[in-house]
Amino acid sequence: MSNDTPSSARPVDLELLRTRLCAALDREPLGWDGVRAFETEHGVVLPEPYRTYVAEIGDGWAGGVIPLADLPGDWPTPPEGRDLATPFPLTEAWNWEDDEEYDEDELEELTDRVYNLGSVVLATDGCGLYWHLVVSGPQRGRVWCVADVGAGPFGADFGYEGEGEPGFAQWAAHWIGE
């Protein structure tokens, strides 16, 4: 790590990422200059420990976790509509497939906002299911599952096991089956 960019990540989270995920790493880290360039371009500061992970440990890993600046090949909306600095629009789970409050055009506009505002895409499980890390707004630092039927935050309250806060480190341990 460069001396001019100290990490504010919790040591326990970085230890989890360095030790338990090391076998899965297959991409070089971006380095602090690469992370700062991404943040400047998009008008955000990435949440810890993801920020330190991408700068020092690796930019994605085998098994479907994609590099910071990439989108999955099956991304459902035009990538030019992405705006990471605009807050992620949700604060609670939403099943839009069963939501009859909006007409089709309104629903499309709202779901496009969920896909494209305030988050980076961490991974895909295929079939229209994506894991997002929220980078701006009230849910900053939380991981969300966004699918073609709805969206909800990662964490024990939503059926995902694991101890600690429902952020990137805990999601990563869940992703690799720890």
List pLDDT tens digits, range 25-45. 677 899 999 999 999 999 999
User: Rounded CA gap, 169 and 111, in Å?
Assistant: 26
Task: Judge whether 147 and 154 are in contact, CB under 8 Å.
Answer: no
Give domain limits for the chain: 11-175
Residue 111 has pLDDT above 50, yes or no: yes
Confidence class of residue 86 from pLDDT cuts 50, 70 and 90?
A: very high
Closest by CA to 144, choosing from 95, 96, 93, 73, is 93
Q: How far apart are the first and last CA of the chain?
A: 27
For range 77-106, the mean pLDDT: 90
* 124 has a pLDDT exceeding 70: yes
pLDDT tens, position by position, 44-53: 999 999 999 9
- In the three-class reduction of DSSP (H, G, I as helix; E, B as strand; rest coil), residue 133 is classed as strand
CA 53, chain centre distance (Å): 12
Residues 6+ apart with CB under 8 A from 123: 64, 65, 66, 130, 131, 175
The whole-chain average pLDDT of the chain stands at: 85
pLDDT computed for residue 78 by the predictor: 79
Class of domain 11-175: alpha beta
Distances (CA, A) of 58 to 121, 129, 135: 15, 23, 18
**Predicted confidence band at 1 (pLDDT cuts at 50, 70, 90)?**
very low
| Strand (E) or helix (H) holding 39 | helix 31-42
Q: Cα dihedral sign for 3, 122, 154, 22?
A: negative
